[in-house]
Structures are given as C-alpha cells and as structure tokens.
Amino acid sequence: MTVLPTDCDDFVIREALPEDAADLLQYVHQISHESDFLSFGPGEFELTEEEEASFLRSSLEASNRIYFIALDSDRVVGTVNFSGGTRPRVSHTGELGLSVAKSHWSRGIGTKLMQHLISWAEAHAEINRLQLHVRVDNSRAIALYERMGFEREGTVKRAMSVGEVYYDSHLMGRDVFGV
C-alpha cells in the first residue's frame, strides 16, 4: 500500500485497497446525489461490493493503473483514479477521474489528489500522458486541471445528458515525462 504524506493535517491520501470497497461504494452513492458534473447519477453506479473489491485488487496489480483515496478520519472524502490502455500501443496513456465530497470542497483535496496522481505517473516510465473529460460548464474543475498543466484539446458535443439537458465536455490532456 502506498501512503503519501500531505501538508494538510485534515486528511490522508493513500492507495485504495480491496478492503475499502464498501466505503468506496458508500462514497460513490453519496456523491452521486451531490453533483450533476459526474458521469453518473443516483442509482447509476451498480457494482457490488465484491465487484468493487475485484476492481481495486486489479488496480493494485496493474502497472498502468492507480486508485487513490483521500480520507478524513477514516472516511472517504475524495478519489482520483487512472486507468491506462490495455493494449501496447495505448498503454502509455489513459483516463483519469477525480471527485471530492461536497462537504470537503474548497479544502485543497482535489489539488492534492491530482498532485499525487501526477507524481505517481512521473515515477512510472510507462505512463507519459494523462487525459480526462470535463463538462464545459464545470469552471472550478477546469481551473484546477489547468493549474495542474492540463490543456483543452477538443470539445465533445452533447457528451452527457442530465435528464433532458445535454452538455458538451472538453477533452483535456497533460504530458508526463518521468524518470
């Protein structure tokens, strides 16, 4: 398990373990009610605890995948995960997802999670590109990603729908050159 120090006494960031599956599913259920910026809403994330534990186990074993969690008093308050491509031609790049519980917005947790992800990627020579999709109206997230060195590389029209409303998303990317 990788535990990374933070300069904030309020939370700890560490790699997610299979034993975290129930807590992560509870966290996902919670945040699904807190924001329409996520790629899922209430009731749309339907993994069982066993399936989540299996996913976390496979993340620990993969060389181009990571799942970090931010904990506040042993409660999950944020996550960032990265999954690299499964074939050799695309294993160097992949998608990331970031979320923070609404109760912990504006406390620097998203920034710290992104810093840890970038540090991890820099230490893994196989990884040289991070990318993500973000709704064009999620200005706080876009500002965070730009501070972390991500650039807007394109816009996907009608990438997400919430109810009857469609939203465009930006594809953002960042090169990573590790050791």
In a domain, 168, yes or no: no
In a domain, 150, yes or no: no
In a domain, 31, yes or no: yes
Question: Residue 6 has what pLDDT?
Answer: 45
In a domain, 91, yes or no: yes
Predicted model pTM: 0.91
131-174 pLDDT, tens digit per residue, is 999 999 999 999 999 999 999 999 999 999 999 999 999 999 99
Question: Residue 177 has what pLDDT?
Answer: 81
In a domain, 112, yes or no: yes
In a domain, 177, yes or no: no
86-123 pLDDT, tens digit per residue, is 999 999 999 999 999 999 999 999 999 999 999 999 99
Query: How many independent structural domains does the chain possess?
Result: 1
- CA separation for the pair 155, 158 (Å, rounded): 9
11: domain CATH number is 3.40.630.30
In a domain, 29, yes or no: yes
